[in-house]
């Protein structure tokens, strides 16, 4: 059995593609923790997939609560998962029993041939790492291609004692990680470059159709080369208190909308999964179309016949899907280390902001 652990709709999309292109004689079980992005489980149809693929929708909060209810053993298991400690076979059997008690569909009595994770550092990935001696990773977007800063002094010390870089960690650095399936494996950090394997999203129409039906995807709205997807992002906590107006991001999107319309583009908003449409009512009043923020952007791209343009302040939206889209950023990755200072200056100097928007729009086909 191949086991996929998913926390986001993007994870689910990639798991559905990869499992369909795998050996049809191998059972693929996909666990989707729908409450991480507050996805309505009724928006996912688990009945339309091939017989060898089983999709199980799980609440991570309720699963953790169920494990904790087992007293000391449950709390010990969760402690080991968070600390990256291994458990013996008896405790492993107890964990599989606890998971099965929560949901009969989560039966791991057959051998896990391959465990697939995305961010191997999140809580659910750590929990399921306890069930397998090794795992493979599938890319999680920009997070796979950068070094992540370690700010905690105790963690830095532990990493130093473990002969790891004390200041930075990268996805897939653990010895238990065998492979990293990435759309751009050649761009992975040097320390894990040898683990990189090419992730190919098949253009098989049957695969795409199955995935569209699984997501209950609305195909009535078609994207084309004159569509401009504006990928939004929440205002980072680090920016709050440094901006004159915490709604400045909305002002940026408003300028992009008006300028792009004058250039003959049709702007549509793709909200970040953690944002709510209710915060963007003023855009709806201006006739702006919204793409569902509970469905992966990649599904829209894969379902489009044309290459689509995507613009953001600085988002990972579209990363890894360059075959299907053109990506434009007001603050390029080369300047992202000075993100806070640049945003603060753009809020004061609106002419500079307009210039950045115009430059990006002028590059679009």
pLDDT in tens, the chain (365 residues): 999 999 999 999 999 999 998 887 889 999 999 999 889 999 999 999 999 999 999 999 999 999 999 999 999 999 999 988 999 999 999 999 999 999 999 988 778 999 999 999 899 999 999 999 999 999 887 788 888 888 888 888 888 887 888 888 899 999 999 999 998 899 899 999 999 999 988 878 899 899 999 999 987 778 888 999 999 988 776 777 778 888 899 999 999 999 999 999 999 999 987 788 889 999 999 899 999 888 889 889 888 888 999 999 988 888 778 888 999 999 988 887 788 899 999 999 999 999 999 999 999 96
CB atoms within 10 A of CB 252: 22
d(CA 140, CA 80) in angstroms, rounded, equals 24
Using CA atoms, how far residue 176 sits from 129, 141, 157, 199, 303, in Å, is 9, 21, 21, 20, 35
- Answer whether 96's CB lies under 8 Å from 112's CB: no
Looking at residue 365, what is its pLDDT?
A: 67
Residue 178: HSE in the Cβ half-sphere, 13 Å Cα cutoff? 10
Looking at residue 49, what is its pLDDT?
A: 94
Indicate left, alpha or beta for 5 from its phi (over 0: left) and psi (-120 to 50: alpha). beta
Exposed, middle or buried, 281 (CB in 10 Å: 0-12/13-18/19+)? Answer: exposed
The rounded Cα 332 to chain-centroid distance in angstroms is 20
d(CA 270, CA 322) in angstroms, rounded, equals 17
Q: pTM for this structure?
A: 0.86
Looking at residue 230, what is its pLDDT?
A: 96
Nearest to 325 by CA among 237, 228, 250: 228
Which contiguous run of DSSP H or E holds residue 96? helix 89-102
* Structure-token match 């200056």, residue found: 345
Beta bridge partners of 227: 266
**Residue 18 tokens, joined:** 């990869």
Looking at residue 338, what is its pLDDT?
A: 86
Looking at residue 8, what is its pLDDT?
A: 92
**Residue 129 tokens, joined:** 């790492």
Looking at residue 265, what is its pLDDT?
A: 95
Looking at residue 320, what is its pLDDT?
A: 74
* Structure-token match 């680090």, residue found: 238
Q: How many residues does the chain have?
A: 365
Which contiguous run of DSSP H or E holds residue 327? strand 325-329
* Structure-token match 């401009």, residue found: 228
DSSP-derived pairing of the beta strands 289-291 and 266-270:
parallel
């Amino acid at each position: 059995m191949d086991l996929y652990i998913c926390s986001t709709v993007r994870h689910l999309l990639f798991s559905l593609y990869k499992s369909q292109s795998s050996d049809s004689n191998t059972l693929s079980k996909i666990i989707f923790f729908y409450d991480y992005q507050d996805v309505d489980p009724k928006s996912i149809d688990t009945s339309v997939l091939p017989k060898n693929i089983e999709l199980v929708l799980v609440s991570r909060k309720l699963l953790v609560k169920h494990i904790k209810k087992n007293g000391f053993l449950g709390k010990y298991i969760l402690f080991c998962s968070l600390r990256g400690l291994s458990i013996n076979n008896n405790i492993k059997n107890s964990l599989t029993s606890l998971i099965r008690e929560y949901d009969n569909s989560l039966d791991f009595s057959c051998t896990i041939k391959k465990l697939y994770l995305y961010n191997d550092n999140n809580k659910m990935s750590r929990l399921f790492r306890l069930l397998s001696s090794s795992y493979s990773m599938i890319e999680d977007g920009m997070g796979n291609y950068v070094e992540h800063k370690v700010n905690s002094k105790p963690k830095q010390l532990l990493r130093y004692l473990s002969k790891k870089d004390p200041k930075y960690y990268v996805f897939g650095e653990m010895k238990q990680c065998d492979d990293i399936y990435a759309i751009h494996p050649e761009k992975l950090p040097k320390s894990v470059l040898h683990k990189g394997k090419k992730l190919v999203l098949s253009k098989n129409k049957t695969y795409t159709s199955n995935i569209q039906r699984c997501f209950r995807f609305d195909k009535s709205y078609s994207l084309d080369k004159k569509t401009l997807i504006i990928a939004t992002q929440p205002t980072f906590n680090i920016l709050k208190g440094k901006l004159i107006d915490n709604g400045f991001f909305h002002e940026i999107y408003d300028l992009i909308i008006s300028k792009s319309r004058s250039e003959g583009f049709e702007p549509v908003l793709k909200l970040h999964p953690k944002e709510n449409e209710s915060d963007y009512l003023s855009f709806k009043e201006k006739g702006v179309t919204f793409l569902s923020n509970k469905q992966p952007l990649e599904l829209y791209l894969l379902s489009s016949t044309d290459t689509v343009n995507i613009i953001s302040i600085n988002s990972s939206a579209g990363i890894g899907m360059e075959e299907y889209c053109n990506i434009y950023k007001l603050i390029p990755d080369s300047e992202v280390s000075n993100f806070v200072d640049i945003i603060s200056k753009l809020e004061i100097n609106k002419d500079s902001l307009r210039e950045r928007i115009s430059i990006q729009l002028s590059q679009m086909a």
